[in-house]
Amino acid sequence: MEQPDYTIEEAAKAKGFLRIAGVDEVGRGPLAGPVTAAAVILDVCQIPEGLNDSKKLTAKKRDAVEVQILEKTEWAVAHATVEEIDEHNILRASHLAMERAVAALDPAPDYLLIDGNLIPRGLDLPSEAVVKGDGKSLSIAAASILAKQARDRLMVELAQQFPGYGWEKNAGYPSKQHRDALQTLGVTPHHRRSFKPVHNMLYQARNVAS
């Protein structure tokens, strides 16, 4: 199984860059909640033990690695709101969250490793897009963990305000419980109205009302 390592970061350092941040986002697919991004600068002498792509770690391991990331790295987490997702689109909103996470690092990084195949247009630093970067770069893997942990906790909080949708378990993704609750409980302020299942429900409701 492929494991992320520090090879890409070392190549950037060989070009003279010193503060290299890995950037990743989570939450493009859910029907509800924000999209969340994180930016992480690793100290090569203090790489958290067990660091890997967040999707390859159990919840218990993510919790343990997250504690180390928060203690041993420079990091920032940021969000783009449901309103921004609906106003722009999910890709642009995810890039806004990435831009905000990078901007929150102080001092600023001098090189970025961006998960995916696109570099957000609002980033004016030297950058490199890394497809499936959370499985290749330790810095991006660390960002993937922080972003997921932060968003999952936020969805647990929202689940307490809007029970029945199962957000504490499905994090806003379209599980059966979530889809069934949309039919029985309706659309909340935290649902993405531009996403087809939610949009279709609202369209049908308007037609019935008229």
Query: Which residues are documented as binding site for a divalent metal cation?
Result: 24-25, 115
Q: Which of 103, 139, 143 is nearest to 120 (CA)?
A: 103
Name the phi and psi angles at 176, rounded to 5. -60, -45
DSSP three-state, residue 143: helix
Task: Please state, in angstroms and as integers, the Cα–Cα distance from residue 52 to each residue in 124, 141, 151, 180, following that order.
Answer: 28, 6, 18, 34
Q: Is-contact 25 115, C-beta < 8 A?
A: yes
Q: Which residues are annotated as a binding site?
A: 24-25, 115
**Tokens at 86, concatenated:** 């609906």
Residue-by-residue DSSP string for 76-98: EEEEE-HHHHHHS-HHHHHHHHH
Gap between the Cα atoms of 139 and 9, Å rounded:
8
